[in-house]
Amino acid sequence: MGKCGCEFLSTHLYNLKKMYKADFTVVNGENSAVGNGISRESAEVIFSSGADVITTGNHAFHKSEAADMFRENSNILRPANFPEGAPGNGFCVVDFGRTQIAVINLMGTLLMESLDNPFYTADKIISSLDTPNIFVDFHAEATSEKKALGFYLSKRVTAVLGTHTHVQTADEAVLEGHTAYITDAGMTGAEDSVIGFDKGCALTRIKEHFPVRFKESESSPFICGVSVEFDEKCGKAVSIERIILR
């Protein structure tokens, strides 16, 4: 979330990967650019910090350079259920030699934009993959839609990890003994804020219903996320652990 989130990630991600012995890292860059969306600058910071894949969401195309970025780099994803013809890809497969890992980026439709059905989009993509190691970033507003997709894809994917609301939830679990799940992985950005934005601006906007330009909070940042351990031979998640680093 914003400049401070990117800077904090670049300072701490390497040590986090070392601590959790992480072989593969996915970062949602939905709001990494100043304002929102993703820019060349913020994507470069995220990749140089140690991310293998960047996912996005409803702000995917808010920066003018985003469309070209999605075309040029297959490891920067936009939601797969965007209309046909949208620039870029909604999923990718990373080859590690001994194994392959797929990442699918989907967006919810409840209380959000009217896109293609994410459930059927997931079915179509999964049927085309040759690896059991499948991670899904479900960028959605409604907790019910996220949980429903988690159960819908249970035993078919390694993990369904929710993003978008910026607030980490405490419902991490391995569904049906196979699929790691959390409703929202949380955000990396200013902790003493309203989902990353300055408290004063947010309060004026929400309380007074007065149009105010949001600005990024300047308070101390933190990192939220999850660590998933899985069996690369069958794609079965062994554990999921929430991460909070201040």
Question: Mind telling me the catalytic residues?
Answer: 59
H helix intervals, 22-168: 40-49, 66-72, 118-128, 143-152
How far apart CA 31 and CA 175 sit, in angstroms, is 29
* Token representation of residue 170: 């405490």
* Token representation of residue 53: 């894949």
**Best CA proximity match to 180, nearest among 156, 216, 200, 163:** 156
How far apart CA 162 and CA 192 sit, in angstroms, is 22
Q: What angle do CA 12, 231, 13 make, to 5 degrees?
A: 5
**Best CA proximity match to 28, nearest among 48, 8, 43, 7:** 43
User: Does residue 93 contact residue 133 with C-beta atoms inside 8 Å?
Assistant: no
Query: Position 53: which residue type?
Result: V
